[in-house]
Amino acid sequence: MSRYDCIFGMSIVASPPHSVPGPSPAGKVGRADNVPLPVRRTPAWKTALQEAIRDPAELCRVLDLPREVVERTAAAARLFGLLVPRGFVARMQKGDPNDPLLRQVLPLDAETLDVPGFIADPVGDGDAKIAPGLLQKYAGRALLIVTGACAVHCRYCFRRHFPYSEAAERGRPWEEAVAAIRRDSAIHEIILSGGDPLTLSDGRLAALARRLAAIPHLTRLRIHSRLPIVLPERVCDEFLNWFARSRLTGVMVVHANHPAEIDDSVAAAFSRLASAGVPILNQAVLLRGVNDSSEVLAELCEKLADLRVMPYYLHQLDRVAGAAHFEVPQDEGLRIIAELRRRLPGYAVPRYVREVTGAPSKMPLESRL
């Protein structure tokens, strides 16, 4: 499941608002020849994204946090800016600088430390590029980086140093990537990733999905997105209209790490997806100070399963520069997973995996038990 809309000069809301035919609510809008003009409106999710908090001082003010907390954010925020939607902030506990949701988004001095073993590209994205914006690591599927923008900047993100401006194809977006997919009949599934693909407008995404659906050997279209969690209004009718109706089978992989991330608005977004027939999977990252206990993860997994979302992966942290303070040792993770197995039905226990550069799949860690 980024971001650097500022660093890479990308606009978070990159496309013009789409058109909705018919008169405006205020009455008929027409030219002299009485042909109604299309009424343009900005979807609620785009407005919420534009109004997201980007200033650590404002975030601390909203959460009643002391001034010292703001002071500890400055250096890290210069490297990777703060971005968090207000709806996600509303799920945080006021006055608690260690809130597990806040910890995921608040820049900290610890990010500026140079820790051996923590590097810019810990998962070998650079070596996996097969066309502009197209990565392939595993058989049968390929990953299309459709944007560098996100709705939230997760401090532990493994792509926090990804060169999005280099990945992007100039001029004709995704042309070479789509051509490469068309040439390789062994690819059956495309994963839209980024950044976060759902920061793009439905018009652009639907047009891309149509181009992909016209490739006969493709059967599935998977979206990896954190927006259904941090900005659940993104799961709107316009989105479901193209995603759930595509010839390609749609799969949604969301990203929640802590049960407090899932409130009624997120549950409603899951319900809209599930009712449209879209399978939903969740991937979480094991994070120190966020979800490093079997109690927290059991609550997350039960909540997800109750809402028809399958806990899919629990990722060992990718060792990206700036995120060392989030790392939980693998042995501790294995103990947590073993405890989850004792507490939960098998289908509600995520696979504990780590990504290893050059490996043919995510590496399961549990077999070491």
Per residue in 219-231, is it b (16+ CB within 10 Å) or e — as a string?
ebbbbbbbbbbbb
Is residue 154 at the binding interface for ligand SF4, with CB under 6 A as the rule? yes
Among 3, 222, 234, 315, binds ligand SF4 (CB under 6 A): 3
Is residue 199 at the binding interface for ligand SF4, with CB under 6 A as the rule? no
Q: Which stretch binds ligand SF4 (CB under 6 A): 145-153, 184-192, 313-321, 339-347?
A: 145-153
Counting residues that bind ligand SF4 (by CB under 6 A) gives: 13
Among 144, 152, 168, 177, binds ligand SF4 (CB under 6 A): 152
Among 103, 137, 159, 354, binds ligand SF4 (CB under 6 A): 159
Residue whose pair of structure tokens reads 């599934």 in the numeric block: 189
Q: What SS3 class is residue 10?
A: coil
Is residue 153 at the binding interface for ligand SF4, with CB under 6 A as the rule? yes
The smaller minimum CB distance to ligand SF4, of residues 152 and 205, is found at 152
Is residue 226 at the binding interface for ligand SF4, with CB under 6 A as the rule? yes
Site string for ligand SF4, 28-67 (x = CB under 6 A): ----------------------------------------
Question: Residue 234 and residue 148: Cα distance in Å, rounded?
Answer: 17
Q: What angle do CA 193, 141, 268 make, to 5 degrees?
A: 45
Among 10, 49, 157, 353, binds ligand SF4 (CB under 6 A): 157
Do 352 and 328 form a contact (C-beta atoms < 8 A)? no
Question: Residue 304 and residue 178: Cα distance in Å, rounded?
Answer: 34
Do 236 and 43 form a contact (C-beta atoms < 8 A)? yes
* Neighbour tally for 349: CB within 10 Å: 21
Is residue 315 at the binding interface for ligand SF4, with CB under 6 A as the rule? no
Q: Which stretch binds ligand SF4 (CB under 6 A): 59-67, 130-138, 151-159, 305-313?
A: 151-159
The smaller minimum CB distance to ligand SF4, of residues 84 and 340, is found at 84
Is residue 1 at the binding interface for ligand SF4, with CB under 6 A as the rule? yes
Q: Which stretch binds ligand SF4 (CB under 6 A): 84-92, 116-124, 131-139, 147-155?
A: 147-155
Is residue 103 at the binding interface for ligand SF4, with CB under 6 A as the rule? no
Q: Among 87, 79, 45, 118, which residue's Cα sits nearest to residue 326?
A: 118
Q: Which amino acid is at 158?
A: F
- State the residue number with the nearest CB to ligand SF4: 1
Question: Residue 169 and residue 153: Cα distance in Å, rounded?
Answer: 23
Among 142, 150, 177, 266, binds ligand SF4 (CB under 6 A): 150
* Neighbour tally for 215: CB within 10 Å: 17
From residue 115, alpha-carbon distances to 76, 119, 210 in Å are 15, 8, 44
Q: Which stretch binds ligand SF4 (CB under 6 A): 27-35, 188-196, 275-283, 330-338?
A: 188-196
Q: Which amino acid is at 75?
A: A
